[in-house]
Structure 1
Amino acid sequence: ACFEPSLDYCVVKMPRWDLSKFTRVSKNIGSSMKSVGEVMAIGRNFEEAFQKALRMVDENVTGFDPNLKDVDEEELKEPTDKRMFVVAAALNANYSVEKLYDLTKIDRWFLEKMKNIIEVYGQIEKHGLNIPKELLLRAKQLGFSDKQIANSEGSTELAVRSQRKEYGVLPFVKQIDTVAGEWPASTNYLYMTYNAAAHDIDFVGGYTMVIGSGVYRIGSSVEFDWCAVGCLRELRNLGRKTVMVNYNPETVSTDYDMCDRLYFEEISFEVVMNIYDVENPEGIILSMGGQLPNNIAMDLHRQQARILGTSPESVDGAENRFKFSRMLDRKGILQPRWKELTNLKSALEFSKDVGYPCLVRPSYVLSGAAMNVAHCDKDLEEYLLSASQVSKEHPVVISKFLTEAKEIDVDAVAADGEILCMAVSEHVENAGVHSGDATLVTPPQDINAETLEQIKVIACDIASLLDVTGPFNMQLIA
């Protein structure tokens, strides 16, 4: 094809390195393959796509944030998975582009673009709560999220959202043009941007939205994509039109012929709600994407979004460790002794009382992030700090860790709290190895009939207590 491309979008792909999962692993990145997944962000300028990509790689990051890391010239010389945040801090500390180029060898063009983002940070902080419309629009065009703006001006995400709507600063849905403007394109690859004046498509409603799993990481990978694809196929068989939201280019769910509309977008409350507002779908299915969609379930629910499947209140009842443990106690389902963490002193007292080892369990986390077994007071102090950083808005629970115990995995599907089918698997290793890393055997080889019966009773109780509709999974200790 010999025609001149007229491209109107910019794509940023970024790998995810889960290096913090390992101790004694070098954080430096070079030509050897260390990444475990990748994301693809689309915007209309580099700044927009770059900030989107940073949030996609790590849901705890709000964007190109200068407050995450301290300036350290040694860290700037070597590429690591977190170096861009040191660059952000350096730009914020008035390092010149030339000086940063000498230290990092990152092309000046990119450094100039990053500087643009940091300059807008400064302006937002200066204006505080009464941010003018022009600045808000400029920030959104450079890929700032509502939460990021809220953190800089000292308000909340919802406050920024309502102010943005008041100002009429809204995103537009754009199509990826696969034929470089030579003739009209009709692809269903879509993305949202603030650098536009009109939508590329019409919104007729009546779609069903499925949220994907986002970036592959240790402990969450292709299994959730398989669920999402199965869901899309089944919806299609039922004659439903589907909208898929996912940003992982390695997945089958982001194949253009898998669904009717494909949004290559962030899986965050803000973006999913923006898509929901324009598409006005019949409902959103969150249960196919693993942890990320669960994290935004309550926020969507509070904005009156129609959630299909298990209700967000029940999701919260399962994800919130304190609520879940309390529910088990009320029903008389046995569990190791536990206590909600309020301060370090009470945590140390509890551990002395039940005896080490103890398990630190933050809420709303994926694949055992910051979940650690503490063997002494020093361990406990260190782990509680990292757990409270990961699980900022949700409770952290400590419980007695049972050694030499057998772990059993139950996967089931329920409708309105009634179990339709279930599979029981047995871990080969003792309890304490995360189920994503363990070896599982099904049907179980070493469980007697009485235990199996008890497992079924517990599974049925929990399904009805949480009124589950859809798939669920749990681990039991025998």
Structure 2
Amino acid sequence: PIHEVLVEKAVLGWKEFELELLRDSADNVCIICTVENFDPMGVHTGDSITVAPAMTLSDTAMQLMRNTAIMMMRDLGNFAGGCNVQFALNPATEEIIAIEINPRVSRSSALASKATGYPIAKIAAKLAIGYNLDELENQITKTTSAYFEPALDYVIVKVPRWNFDKFKGANDTLGLQMKSVGEVMAIGRSFTEAIQKACQSLENNAVGLGYYGKSLMHAEEILEYIKTPKWDRIFRIKDALMAGISVGTISKATNGIDRWFIYEIQKIVNMEKELAKFKLATLPDDLLRQAKTMGFSDEQLCRIMNDGKEDEVYEKRKAAGITRVFKMVDTCSAEFEAKTPYFYSTFEIGPGNTSSQNLAVSNESKVSDKKKIIVLGSGPNRIGQGIEFDYCCVHGLLAIKECGYESIMINCNPETVSTDFDMADKLYFEPVYWEHLWEIIEHEKPEGVIVQLGGQTALKLAERLHAKGIKIIGTSYDSMDIAEDRGRFSDRLKELEIPYPDYGTAYDVDEAVAVANKVGYPVLVRPSYVLGGQRMRIVINDDEVENAVVSLLKHIPGNKILIDHFLDRCQEAEIDGIFDGDDFHVMGVMEHIEPAGIHSGDSNAVLPQFNLSPLIVHTMEEYAEKIARALNIKGLINIQFAIKNGKVYVIEANPRASRTTPFIAKAYQIPYLNIATKIMIGQHKLKDFKFEKKLKGFAIKEPVFSFNKFPGVNKELGPEMKSTGEAIRFIKDLRDPYFRQLYKDRSMYLSK
């Protein structure tokens, strides 16, 4: 056993690389992509920031790695398909060690496919059934063979997305076990541009690489902090450079992050120090152009200069001709003509960049004269907003094509099907971030944008689209805002004479305590506008209210706090429906097995309802239709109910595709998302469709948890969502022993 420890010790701090290969039965091997990990050995690749193509390899090391990988793959016996090899490289001597080989497609294969535009899994499947590489065509150029290694004329950076805030007491040190729940990928012309775009994609309020005004540490503290790999280490490395710590010191402290990467971050820091000398009015165009090519966002520039607004920066650079151009991902660095509509944005620096001829040449995204509709994706997977919305986007795209429009997809998550180059008519692999979205809209001039399919991410952008006069397809922004804004929603329910739990809003602790006493304990304390019940608490006395409010305001200063009366031990149910302006269709009524107090994403839910009386179900459907009419919904709506002592209360309404829409569509085998999208566009009415629900018995939605990754964490469930996935289970009838057991244990995991 001692020997093992020695081997591992020697390799920690070495550089880590991955190669994606394909091999056919004739022993041809093709290397699709080399990926370099930003973090040295000792951090799981799934938790590392990774970069493709490999950046810091010498020619000889690269060749050695290729030859070794090919040799390993050919030695695997009779095997055709995809394969992934991981190497560790000693930076001092360039000696390499093969760490592992997976004779299958892996998590990085998906990333490599999106990074190169080469559909690895598709080709691997064909190789496995006996085709050879030289017989298959390259899916993108259609003229070259698949036995042609992709060449990249851009840089891609993958950054993982973690959810440590959901797990109190979790150890957030990154190590040999993977802890991230999702990832984003960004494409740019340089590492600096790509890493900043990746940070903008993360949706943790980052506007680029950096903290901007938050918690700056002292130099000694930072150096100590970056010794352990944590989720925000790259942000702290930038802080260290801002504090003037040298590249060599940082490289040593982080146990071997290659100096090349740190020098790249140093470029961002130098640019930032230069920018801080100016205000918006005095900022030279030349410097602005350089900052944009390094991936700085407009909002980030405002924060650095402490001046101006995002839109003003945009107007300034538009006037100076500094706007994004769109480049194609074509597998061959533009050596052959490519047929793919797969684009990323970047900035060109060239002489005479203002003349219109040049712009026409450098912009590879040609605008067609068809009517176009943009679908906004949901960004990185995380708890509360996962792969369900990808299903929604894919079906939405197909429906848009069927209606004769050109479909355009914007998303930055490499794990999704919606970001495949053959799903939409055009794919922009960009952050779902206002600035990027707006330049795509200015370029494409679409008929409208669909925000109902991308979860809360897309919904949040609706307000700015509406303000700019862009048509939101489906439910209008104002109607969506009524459902999102608790106060307006409750007023509307009062007019409709629909019962809801008593509530109040507060901005500080004293108000909160007063409101809590007015509505009556127990109460639910939460910030407004959240998904997945973030930072939501059930509290039972004044002291607890005070603690909850103080911690909320610390994390989200200035937020309006909602305080609702919590209906204790009541039954929960939800309805997903489609409304077209005239008719309302109930897609499904789901009854939760667990009592209220557990987030709907964490509870086992049964479709159709199994224990609610017909009268209650009828009341729920009636309320749902009333709400849909009053809010003037066009498309999807999801409404959650609580039932206590035979009285139905409405808890909330979401004017978008919900987490359960795909579940219902699959259980009943009806293409609900396709239908809903056609109704949003206005091409069809509900009367045009026949609904035949093909479900014998019941379907149970089961949550899947990943608590085993966080040994120190409390496993109890509450109003904040913790499950990382879900499964579907069909049962014939309620005698099913699995269902019986679930029903018996329904109150076991509730927190007190």
Which amino acid letter does the alignment assign opposite residue 279 of structure 2?
A: G
Q: Deviations over 1:203-226 (max 9, x none)?
A: 124222111111111121121111
Contact 2:152-2:332 within 8 A present in 1 as well:
no
Partner SS, residue 601 of structure 2: coil
Partner SS, residue 461 of structure 2: helix
**Map of 1:244 onto structure 2:** 409
Aligned partner of 2:523 among 333, 338, 358 = 358
Contact 1:321-1:396 within 8 A present in 2 as well:
no
**Map of 2:285 onto structure 1:** 133
TM-score, normalised via structure 1 length: 0.94
Partner SS, residue 339 of structure 2: coil
Instruction: Report deviation, 1:384.
Output: 2.8
1:158 counterpart = 2:311: yes
Aligned partner of 2:180 among 30, 35, 51 = 35
Aligned partner of 1:47 among 186, 192, 206 = 192
Instruction: Report deviation, 1:192.
Output: 0.8
Partner SS, residue 403 of structure 1: coil
CA distance in structure 2 between the aligned counterparts of 1:351 and 1:127, rounded to whole angstroms: 48
Aligned partner of 1:110 among 258, 261, 267 = 261
Q: Deviations over 1:331-380 (max 9, x none)?
A: 33222221112222110222234443321232222211122223444543
Q: Deviations over 1:288-326 (max 9, x none)?
A: 111101000010111111211111111222222232233
Contact 2:330-2:340 within 8 A present in 1 as well:
yes
Instruction: Report deviation, 1:277.
Output: 0.7
Aligned partner of 1:176 among 313, 318, 329 = 329
CA distance in structure 1 between the aligned counterparts of 2:550 and 2:314, rounded to whole angstroms: 31
Equivalences for 1:115-126 in 2 at 5 Å? 115-126=266-277
Aligned partner of 1:148 among 297, 300, 305 = 300
CA distance in structure 1 between the aligned counterparts of 2:487 and 2:365, rounded to whole angstroms: 45
Q: Deviations over 1:421-477 (max 9, x none)?
A: 331111111112111111101111121122112211221121122111111112111
1:457 counterpart = 2:622: yes
CA distance in structure 2 between the aligned counterparts of 1:301 and 1:224, rounded to whole angstroms: 22
Which amino acid letter does the alignment assign opposite residue 448 of structure 1?
A: S
Identity rate, percent: 37
CA distance in structure 2 between the aligned counterparts of 1:374 and 1:157, rounded to whole angstroms: 39
Residues 158 and 327 of structure 1: CA distance in aligned 2, closer, same or farther (over 3 Å): farther
CA distance in structure 2 between the aligned counterparts of 1:386 and 1:165, rounded to whole angstroms: 41
CA distance in structure 2 between the aligned counterparts of 1:303 and 1:442, rounded to whole angstroms: 41
Which amino acid letter does the alignment assign opposite residue 228 of structure 2?
A: E
Partner SS, residue 430 of structure 1: coil
Partner SS, residue 538 of structure 2: strand
Contact 1:213-1:289 within 8 A present in 2 as well:
yes
Decide which structure has the larger Cα Rg and report it: 2
1:204 counterpart = 2:368: yes
Equivalences for 1:213-232 in 2 at 5 Å? 213-232=378-397
CA distance in structure 1 between the aligned counterparts of 2:456 and 2:512, rounded to whole angstroms: 27
CA distance in structure 2 between the aligned counterparts of 1:382 and 1:64, rounded to whole angstroms: 32
CA distance in structure 2 between the aligned counterparts of 1:256 and 1:341, rounded to whole angstroms: 47
The runs of at least 4 consecutive aligned structure 1 residues that moved more than 6 Å come to 1-5
Partner SS, residue 237 of structure 2: helix
**Map of 2:169 onto structure 1:** 24
CA distance in structure 1 between the aligned counterparts of 2:295 and 2:154, rounded to whole angstroms: 13
**Map of 1:89 onto structure 2:** 239
CA distance in structure 2 between the aligned counterparts of 1:224 and 1:417, rounded to whole angstroms: 26
Instruction: Report deviation, 1:390.
Output: 6.2
Contact 2:507-2:558 within 8 A present in 1 as well:
no
Contact 1:63-1:145 within 8 A present in 2 as well:
yes
Partner SS, residue 30 of structure 1: coil
CA distance in structure 2 between the aligned counterparts of 1:164 and 1:393, rounded to whole angstroms: 32
Which amino acid letter does the alignment assign opposite residue 160 of structure 1?
A: V
Instruction: Report deviation, 1:50.
Output: 0.4
**Map of 1:187 onto structure 2:** 340
Residues 204 and 334 of structure 1: CA distance in aligned 2, closer, same or farther (over 3 Å): same
Q: Deviations over 1:132-154 (max 9, x none)?
A: 21222222111111221222233
CA distance in structure 2 between the aligned counterparts of 1:393 and 1:35, rounded to whole angstroms: 29
Equivalences for 1:7-22 in 2 at 5 Å? 7-22=152-167
Equivalences for 1:242-321 in 2 at 5 Å? 242-321=407-486
Residues 391 and 298 of structure 1: CA distance in aligned 2, closer, same or farther (over 3 Å): farther
Equivalences for 1:369-448 in 2 at 5 Å? 369-388=534-553, 395-416=560-581, 418-448=583-613
Aligned length: 478
251-260 or 198-207: bigger deviation: 198-207
1:100 counterpart = 2:265: no
Contact 1:362-1:396 within 8 A present in 2 as well:
yes
Residues 76 and 364 of structure 1: CA distance in aligned 2, closer, same or farther (over 3 Å): same
Residues 280 and 133 of structure 1: CA distance in aligned 2, closer, same or farther (over 3 Å): same
CA distance in structure 2 between the aligned counterparts of 1:254 and 1:392, rounded to whole angstroms: 35
Partner SS, residue 127 of structure 1: coil
Residues 236 and 14 of structure 1: CA distance in aligned 2, closer, same or farther (over 3 Å): same
Contact 1:191-1:263 within 8 A present in 2 as well:
yes
Q: Deviations over 1:151-175 (max 9, x none)?
A: 2233222222222222222100110
Partner SS, residue 47 of structure 1: helix
277-286 or 372-381: bigger deviation: 372-381
Residues 291 and 100 of structure 1: CA distance in aligned 2, closer, same or farther (over 3 Å): same
Runs of 5+ unmatched residues, structure 1: none
Instruction: Report deviation, 1:47.
Output: 0.9
Residues 379 and 47 of structure 1: CA distance in aligned 2, closer, same or farther (over 3 Å): farther
**Map of 2:225 onto structure 1:** 75
Instruction: Report deviation, 1:88.
Output: 2.4
261-270 or 357-366: bigger deviation: 357-366
Runs of 5+ unmatched residues, structure 2: 1-29, 31-146, 350-358, 644-752
Which amino acid letter does the alignment assign opposite residue 92 of structure 1?
A: M
Instruction: Report deviation, 1:396.
Output: 2.6
Contact 2:503-2:519 within 8 A present in 1 as well:
no
Which amino acid letter does the alignment assign opposite residue 176 of structure 2?
A: S
TM-score, normalised via structure 2 length: 0.61
CA distance in structure 2 between the aligned counterparts of 1:185 and 1:393, rounded to whole angstroms: 50
**Map of 2:641 onto structure 1:** 476
Instruction: Report deviation, 1:104.
Output: 1.5
Residues 137 and 245 of structure 1: CA distance in aligned 2, closer, same or farther (over 3 Å): same
Instruction: Report deviation, 1:195.
Output: 3.5
Q: Deviations over 1:374-424 (max 9, x none)?
A: 344454344334544666676331112222111111111111374233311
CA distance in structure 2 between the aligned counterparts of 1:342 and 1:6, rounded to whole angstroms: 55
Residues 92 and 456 of structure 1: CA distance in aligned 2, closer, same or farther (over 3 Å): same
Q: Deviations over 1:257-296 (max 9, x none)?
A: 1111111011122111111110111211111111101000
